[in-house]
Amino acid sequence: NPGAFPDGFLWGASTSAYQVEGAWNTDGKGPSVIDHARFRDNVTDFTVCSDHYHRFKEDIALLAEMGLKTYRFSIAWSRLYPDGDGELNPAGVAFYQQLIDEICRQGIEPLVTLYHFDLPWALQQAGGWSNRRTVAAFERFAVTCFEHYGKQVKYWLTINEQNMMILKGEVIGTLAEGTEDVQRSLYQQNHHMMLAQAQAMIACHQRLPDAKIGPAPNISCVYAASSRPEDGLAADNFSAIRNWLYLDLAVHGRYNAVVWAFLQQRGWLPEIAADDMAIIAAGKPDFIAFNYYASATVSADLPDAARGELNSKQKADQQMAGIDSTVYVGCNNPHLSQNQFGWYIDPVGFRITAREIYARYALPLIVTENGLGAFDTLEAGNKVHDDYRIAYLRDHLRQLRLAIADGVVLFGYCPWSAIDLVSTHQGIGKRYGFIYVNRDEHDLKDLARYRKKSFFWYQQLIASNGAT
């Protein structure tokens, strides 16, 4: 049966703590960078979100009904350590214990992200990832998670989208206010996160010999705008900066030579202490998790007029990490359609991305995010007809199946998101879930849960192990 999904394939779905839980200051939780972020005017804040903190039993029951084999969620660091590194908060430990018990009771495999953007505010005030103290604090937090939950949790993710935290530092809240020499600071922070990730992987392997742990960057294939060799070079530059820097360090324990040269030329090299590279090399992932939403297209030097009118996503790609236009320039891709938010929809790019990662690193892969953000409408009878989401997921899964037929070893697929939650920059209006949460930007309504059309579609798909 060429292209079938392997037996035991982990059909899943994902969330993150700060986007789904709410209860932002309940039971001793400390604030995180998210609770202090300056939001766009009038966009939903993260105080209540989908109120998963109080409704997790109902939510996990729905995920079990959908047939999930695994559920990816994150632990809010500042629920366990309210100031990031001081006293452990027993109520926080107890919450995740109950959540994990419930997930296991329903026969679902927990897949835990240790850190998904929500750095404790107290650590941020002391310099965040610029301060080496944060590396030790992360290791302590990770070890606490391994000790408390390691009997039940076999799959761990270190840091969600570390590359986006660096490449879009200003957007995601990685930068402390008043940071000078922004790019240098970001690449120093990146180095410290790499070190923290390596130490967490080492600690995991020492304490939990049967567990598996890996990084979870956002990886996308990058196309050259034309067959001009210079455009090919620009695409290679952007892939190195956007994708490979992070995975080369995580898997091979060394800096990507091309990116290193870029950083050196610009005076952005991080300070590296004596043992750092040995530690980074010693922390080995068991698998690579990756998030994929869209592809990117770049050119060497096309004038604005020839590149077309860039949408906001492409402009953001262009500004990534302050790299100037001698390295690459973002372009339109006339062959792809876009979603309501200007993200290119590119299922074939998904297949290419899986193949590229596997060919480069030869480690098993799992997809930890993929999905379609859209303005859903709750219709009569509390129905949501999200055929556009079904089409997106179906087309991407077909390409994933082809990637497996191409030889890629892939053991799971966790679309974003299990249930509606608050988008990092666009509020609750931009929905991704299989389950509708009845609230608006500011009106909490009754927070009732309704199964969308995609819920029943995914349920059937899982039951047939991916036959579409």
Residues that bind ligand BGP (CB under 6 A): 16, 19, 160-161, 164, 218, 291, 369, 373, 416, 423-426, 430
Strands lying side by side in the sheet with 222-224: 222-224, 296-299, 329-330
Q: Report in angstroms how near the CB of residue 149 gets to ligand BGP at its nearest.
A: 21
Positive or negative torsion for Cα 96, 102, 103, 105: positive
Q: Which is nearer to ligand BGP, 208 or 289 (CB)?
A: 289
Q: Given its phi and psi angles, is residue 420 left (phi above 0), alpha (psi -120 to 50 degrees) or beta?
A: beta
Buried b (16+ CB within 10 A) or exposed e, 356-369: bbbeebebbbbbbb
Active-site residue 161, yes or no? yes
Q: Report in angstroms how near the CB of residue 43 gets to ligand BGP at its nearest.
A: 11
Q: Which is nearer to ligand BGP, 16 or 333 (CB)?
A: 16
Catalytic residue among 21, 109, 139, 161: 161
Active-site residue 271, yes or no? no
Q: Report in angstroms how near the CB of residue 42 gets to ligand BGP at its nearest.
A: 16
Q: Which is nearer to ligand BGP, 141 or 416 (CB)?
A: 416
Q: Which is nearer to ligand BGP, 339 or 438 (CB)?
A: 339
**Two tokens, residue 245:** 């820097």
The residue assigned the tokens 């798909």 is 461
Catalytic residue among 102, 109, 356, 369: 369
Q: Report in angstroms how near the CB of residue 354 gets to ligand BGP at its nearest.
A: 18
Task: With CA atoms as reference, report the closest residue to 374 among 320, 417, 314.
Answer: 417
Query: Residue with the closest Cβ to ligand BGP?
Result: 423
Q: Which is nearer to ligand BGP, 120 or 373 (CB)?
A: 373
Task: With CA atoms as reference, report the closest residue to 18 among 40, 4, 36, 5.
Answer: 36
Cα-trace Rg, the chain = 21
How far is Cα 139 from Cα 145, in angstroms, rounded to an integer?
A: 10
Q: Which is nearer to ligand BGP, 26 or 426 (CB)?
A: 426
Q: Within 10 A of 341 (CB to CB), how many other CB atoms are there?
A: 18
How far is Cα 370 from Cα 345, in angstroms, rounded to an integer?
A: 11
**Two tokens, residue 161:** 């989208």
**Two tokens, residue 239:** 């892939």
Buried b (16+ CB within 10 A) or exposed e, 169-201: beebbbbbeebeeebbbbbbbbbbbbbbbbbbb
Q: Which is nearer to ligand BGP, 220 or 299 (CB)?
A: 220
Three-class SS state of 329: strand
Asked if residue 66 lies in contact with residue 463, where contact means CB atoms within 8 angstroms, the answer is no
- 281: enclosing H helix or E strand: helix 276-282
Q: Report in angstroms how near the CB of residue 16 gets to ligand BGP at its nearest.
A: 5
Q: Report in angstroms how near the CB of residue 415 gets to ligand BGP at its nearest.
A: 11
Q: Report in angstroms how near the CB of residue 371 gets to ligand BGP at its nearest.
A: 7
Q: Report in angstroms how near the CB of residue 383 gets to ligand BGP at its nearest.
A: 24
Q: Which is nearer to ligand BGP, 401 or 452 (CB)?
A: 452
At residue 222, φ and ψ (nearest 5 deg) are: -125, 125
Contact residues for 219 (Cβ-Cβ < 8 A; gap 6+):
163, 243, 247, 290, 291, 292, 353, 356, 357
**Two tokens, residue 12:** 């899943």
User: Which residues are the active-site residues?
Assistant: 161, 369
